[in-house]
Chains A and B, each alone.
Chain A
Amino acid sequence: MQHLTLEAIARLVDEPPHAEEALHLEGCADCRMELEEMRGQTAALAGLADPEPSPFAWPALEARLREEGVIRPQETAKVRPRHSPVLRMAASVAVLVLGGTVGRELWRGGTVNRMDPERIPSRAAGSPVAAPALRTVPAVTVGAPPVQTAARADPPAGGEPSAEAEAPKRTLRSAAHSAPRRSGASATAAQLRAAQADYVSALSEYASVADDERADPVVRLAALEGLVRATRTALERAPEDPVINGYYLAAMGKRDATLQRMARSSEETWY
Chain B
Amino acid sequence: MTENQLIQSAKQGDGGAIQALYRLHARRVYAVVRRLAGDDAQAEDWAQEAWVRALRALPGFRGDSLFSTWLHRIAVNSALHARRSRERRAAREAPLDDSVPMSARGDDALLRLRLERAMERLPEGMRRVLVLHDVEGYTHEEIGEMLGIAPGTCKSQLFKARARMRQLLTSATVKQGIETCST
Contacts and interface: CB of A to CB of B under 8 A. Distances in A.
Contact of A50 (B28, B51, B102): B28
Contacts of A10: 158-163, 166
B76 interface: no
A79 to B, nearest CB: 7
Given A10-B159, A42-B162, A45-B115, A75 B13 contact: yes
Contacts of A50: 27-28, 30-31
B149 to A, nearest CB: 17
Interface string B5-37: 000000011111111101110111111001000
Nearest to A69: B13
A198 B68 CA distance: 46
B44 A216 contact: no
A64 B158 contact: no
A65 interface: yes
A58 B135 contact: no
A46 B135 contact: yes
Interface residues of A, number: 49
Given A10-B159, A45-B134, A61 B52 contact: yes
A138 interface: no
Interface string B126-146: 000010001101000000000
Contacts of B158: 10
A256 interface: no
Contacts of A51: 27, 30-31, 34, 116
Interface residues of B, number: 51
B27 A271 contact: yes
Contacts of B16: 75, 79, 212, 214-216
Nearest to B140: A14
A68 to B, nearest CB: 7
A16 B161 CA distance: 19
Contact of B134 (A42, A76, A270): A42
A53 B26 contact: yes
Given A6-B167, A40-B106, A48 B115 contact: yes
B82 interface: no
Contacts of B34: 51
A48 B110 CA distance: 11
Contacts of B155: 11
B23 to A, nearest CB: 5
Contacts of B22: 58, 61
Nearest to B106: A44
Contacts of B17: 214
Interface string B71-89: 0000000000000000000
A271 B106 contact: no
B172 interface: no
Interface in B105-119: 105-107, 111-112, 115-116, 119
A57 B47 contact: yes
Nearest to B13: A72
Given A42-B162, A51-B31, A57-B47, A62 B15 contact: yes
Contacts of A216: 15-16, 19
A47 interface: yes
Interface string A6-19: 11111101000000
Contacts of A42: 134, 162
B148 to A, nearest CB: 22
A2 interface: no
Contact of B15 (A7, A71, A269): A71
Interface of A: 5-11, 13, 34, 37-38, 40-54, 57-58, 60-62, 64-66, 68-72, 75-76, 79, 212, 214-216, 269-271
17 contacts: A10-B158, A10-B163, A13-B162, A38-B166, A40-B106, A41-B162, A42-B134, A45-B130, A48-B115, A51-B34, A57-B30, A57-B44, A58-B19, A61-B22, A61-B51, A72-B15, A76-B15
Given A10-B158, A70-B13, 7 more contacts: A9-B163, A10-B162, A40-B106, A50-B31, A51-B34, A70-B18, A75-B13
